[in-house]
Amino acid sequence: MERWTFGEAPLPAVVELAAVVRDLTSTVLSLERTSPELEELTGMLRDAQARIARAVPADPAPRVGAHPTDDQRVYVDHSRDIGDYNPCFPRYEFAVDIDGTSGRGTVEFPVCYEGPPGIVHGGFLAVFFDCVLQQLNCDLGQAGKTAELSLRFRRPTPLLTPLVVHAERTIDGGRIHSRAHLERDGTVVCEAEMRAALGDRAALPVVSPRRP
C-alpha cells in the first residue's frame, strides 16, 4: 500500500542539527551553574541564527495551495518522523506490522521532555502518540484530520528508559479509530485513543516543491 505523504522531505543538515539541539538541550538542563562555554555557545548560536534568517523567505506561511508565492516557505512533510528534523518533537522508531493494521516501535525520552522529576511531561506523551498514530495511518495509506485524542496515564512514564509502543487502527465508514499503548518491561504506562475523519488524498492542496 502506498504511504500517504504531504510535503517535502527535510534537509539532511536540518536532521543532523535537530539531534544536536535535542542532545544539547538535555545536557544544559542538567548543569548546576553556567559556564564560559555555554555563554560563548549561546552567542555563537544567536549570531548564526541571524545570518541564516537572511536566507529564509519573508512570508512565514507555507507554500501550499493553488497560489504559492516565492516569499513563502517550503512545507516539510509531517506525516512521519517529525522528531528527526524538529527537536521540539520526540524522536522514535516505528514500523507497520505484517498484518497491515498495526505497528510497533520504540522510544526513549531524554531530559528535555521532563515534567515531574524523572518523569515525561504528559503533554509530550500526547504529542508522541499523535505522531505515532498519524504515522501508522499514513504508512497504511489512509489518513485524515485528528478529531479527538485522549490519553490515560496508567503509571508515570520514566525518562531515559527504553519503552515500546504498540499501535493499531480500524476504519468504520468515514472515521479512523486508532489505539496505542506505551510499555515499560511489559507493563503499560500510558494509553491513547484517536479518532480522525478519513481524508481524501485527491482533495489535498498542492504542495510546492523546494526551489532550486
The cell for 153 is 496515564
Considering the chain, what is the average pLDDT of its residues? Answer: 94
Q: What is the pLDDT of residue 202?
A: 84
User: Which CATH architecture does the domain made up of 12-203 adopt?
Assistant: Roll (3.10)
The CB-side HSE value for 132 (13 A sphere, CA atoms) comes to: 34
Average pLDDT rounded to a whole number, residues 99-104: 91
- Quote the CA–CA distance of 5 and 14 in Å, as a whole number: 19
Domain range list for the chain: 12-203
- Quote the CA–CA distance of 72 and 81 in Å, as a whole number: 23
Q: What is the pLDDT of residue 11?
A: 96
Average pLDDT rounded to a whole number, residues 106-110: 98
Q: What is the pLDDT of residue 1?
A: 59
Positive/negative CA dihedral, 150, 156, 158, 163: negative
- Quote the CA–CA distance of 149 and 195 in Å, as a whole number: 7
The string of DSSP codes covering 34-63 is --HHHHHHHHHHHHHHHHHHTTS-SEEEES
Q: What is the pLDDT of residue 165?
A: 98
pTM: 0.93
In a 3-state reduction of DSSP, which class is residue 204? coil
**What are the pLDDT digits (tens) for 167-188?**
999 999 889 999 999 999 999 9
**What are the pLDDT digits (tens) for 113-130?**
999 999 999 999 999 999
